[in-house]
């Protein structure tokens, strides 16, 4: 159990309220609309542009690079070449979700399973574990979260908390990300020299998986946001869905049809965050 559970959950809640305030920002919505309409109209050879960041059964061929024409707007730029980087730029936090998925539940599962299988891990240790819940099970997850929070959130804050949980429940499904601590412990035993690194590397491979699934869903028009109600909900989740004791919950990616667009996003100047050498 990690000690920061309460602050983590509260932080998560407060992040949502901050970003929700910008959901209706017209400039953001306009940028995103421009981006998605440009994406739809791209002449990308035999590729469906919504399928560029996907798995072997959906590989594209003959992707024609497109010239960049709107270099000042990263969101608009994201539509111009059809590369993985462009799709990474299109992935955003979407809080306005509904149950109308633009792709099938089978396709969601295909994305999740392919990502789970192909994400790299230290020593190929494969510590990532995933539970995907749809429909009534998704609703149950957020009912559980609501019950847990109601017991600890001050009464005067309950209304806004309940609203946020309702917005997650309004989605179509949730991907729950776990680390198998049995794998981490075995790696620590087998490779004692790196013992203190394995928990970090397990967290890093899980982060890669979270990001890949989030981006792949976004590339197919699915909205999603990332939540952290662990470890508050761990025991009830484990009990409800028969999760092994060694699986430690790390994050919840809520997804669904989009009813809103992403908020404005600031970017630190590259000079502050990037160095180059040797060229
Ligand atoms: C490691 C990590 C943890 C995050 N945790 C939360 C969270 O608990 N609740 C939430 O609403 N958003 C969470 N986010 C989403 C970030 O707030 C969001 O990605 C960031 O503001 C950038 O916005 P974008 O996703 O639209 O690019 C998290 C993101 C990352 C990478």
* Distance from the alpha carbon of residue 206 to the mean position of ligand 1, in angstroms: 15
Does the pLDDT at position 247 exceed 90?
A: yes
Which atom of ligand 1 is found nearest the CA of 263?
26
Taking CA atoms only, the protein residue closest to ligand 1 atom 17 is 15
Which atom of ligand 1 is found nearest the CA of 211?
31
Question: Does the residue 183 lie in any domain?
Answer: yes
Tens of pLDDT along 113-171?
A: 999 999 999 999 999 999 999 999 999 999 999 999 999 999 999 999 999 999 999 99
Tens of pLDDT along 65-100?
A: 344 333 444 444 444 556 999 999 999 999 999 999
Domains contained in the chain, number:
2
Taking CA atoms only, the protein residue closest to ligand 1 atom 1 is 207
Cis amide leading into 201 (omega within 30):
no
**Do 120 and 170 belong to one domain?**
yes
**Do 188 and 251 belong to one domain?**
yes
65-68 long-range contacts, CB within 8 A, separation 24+:
66/42
Instruction: Give the residue from 53, 69, 92 where a domain finishes.
Output: 92
**Do 137 and 60 belong to one domain?**
no
**Do 47 and 102 belong to one domain?**
no
State what percent of residues in the chain have pLDDT above 90: 71
Does 67 or 209 have the greater pLDDT score? Answer: 209
* Distance from the alpha carbon of residue 9 to the mean position of ligand 1, in angstroms: 13
Pocket-testing residue among 15, 230, 255, ligand 1, by greatest number of atoms within 8 A of Cβ: 15
pLDDT for 82 equals 67
- Who lines ligand 1 at CB under 6 A? 12, 15-16, 92-93, 225-228, 262, 265
**Do 33 and 57 belong to one domain?**
yes
Instruction: Give the residue from 54, 75, 92 where a domain finishes.
Output: 92
**Do 7 and 58 belong to one domain?**
no
**Do 30 and 44 belong to one domain?**
yes
Print the domain residue range for 228.
1-21+95-262
pTM for the whole thing?
0.78
**Do 40 and 160 belong to one domain?**
no
Does the pLDDT at position 37 exceed 90?
A: no
Quote the distance between the C-alpha of residue 43 and its chain's center: 28
Which atom of ligand 1 is found nearest the CA of 207?
1
Question: Does the residue 173 lie in any domain?
Answer: yes
CATH code of 157's domain: 3.40.109.10
Instruction: Give the residue from 74, 92, 110 where a domain finishes.
Output: 92
Which atom of ligand 1 is found nearest the CA of 265?
23
**Do 47 and 129 belong to one domain?**
no
Question: Does the residue 2 lie in any domain?
Answer: yes
Q: Which two tokens stand for residue 141?
A: 């997850």
Question: Does the residue 198 lie in any domain?
Answer: yes
**Do 148 and 125 belong to one domain?**
yes
H/E stretch holding 262 reads none
Question: Does the residue 275 lie in any domain?
Answer: no
Question: Does the residue 271 lie in any domain?
Answer: no
Which atom of ligand 1 is found nearest the CA of 228?
8
Q: What share of the chain is helix, strand, coil (3-state, %, to 5)?
A: 55, 10, 35
Does the pLDDT at position 176 exceed 50?
A: yes
Question: Does the residue 255 lie in any domain?
Answer: yes
pLDDT for 6 equals 33
* Distance from the alpha carbon of residue 196 to the mean position of ligand 1, in angstroms: 27
Question: Does the residue 268 lie in any domain?
Answer: no
Distance (Å, rounded) from C-alpha 175 to C-alpha 16? 18
Does the pLDDT at position 12 exceed 80?
A: no
**Do 117 and 77 belong to one domain?**
no
| Mean pLDDT (whole number) for 191-210 | 98
**Do 45 and 162 belong to one domain?**
no
| Mean pLDDT (whole number) for 190-200 | 98
* Distance from the alpha carbon of residue 46 to the mean position of ligand 1, in angstroms: 34
Q: If you ran DSSP here, which 8-state letter would residue 64 be given?
A: P
């Amino acid at each position: 159990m990690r000690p920061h559970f309460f602050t983590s959950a509260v932080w998560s809640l407060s992040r949502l309220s901050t970003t929700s305030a910008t959901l209706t920002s017209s400039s953001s919505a306009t940028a995103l609309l421009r981006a998605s309409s440009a994406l739809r109209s791209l002449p990308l050879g035999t590729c469906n542009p919504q399928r560029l960041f996907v798995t072997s059964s959906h590989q594209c061929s003959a992707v024609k690079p497109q010239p960049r024409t709107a270099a000042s707007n990263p969101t608009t730029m994201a539509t111009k070449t059809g590369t993985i980087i462009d799709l990474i730029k299109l992935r955003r936090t979407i809080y306005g979700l509904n149950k109308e998925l633009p792709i099938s539940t089978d396709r969601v599962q295909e994305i999740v399973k392919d990502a789970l299988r192909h994400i790299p891990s230290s020593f190929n240790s494969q510590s990532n574990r995933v539970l995907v819940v749809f429909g009534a099970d998704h609703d149950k997850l957020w009912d559980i979260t609501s019950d847990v929070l109601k017991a600890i959130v001050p009464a005067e804050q309950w209304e806004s908390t309940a609203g946020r949980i309702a917005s997650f429940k309004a989605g179509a499904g949730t991907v729950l990300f776990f680390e198998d601590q049995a794998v981490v412990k075995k790696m620590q035993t087998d490779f004692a020299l790196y013992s203190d690194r394995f928990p970090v590397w397990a967290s890093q491979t899980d982060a890669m998986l979270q990001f890949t699934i989030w981006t792949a869903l976004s590339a197919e028009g699915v909205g999603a946001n990332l939540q952290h109600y662990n470890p508050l909900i761990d025991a009830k989740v484990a009990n409800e869905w028969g999760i092994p004791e060694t699986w430690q919950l790390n994050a919840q990616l809520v997804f669904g049809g989009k009813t809103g667009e992403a908020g404005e996003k600031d970017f630190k100047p590259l000079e502050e965050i990037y160095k180059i050498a040797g060229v």
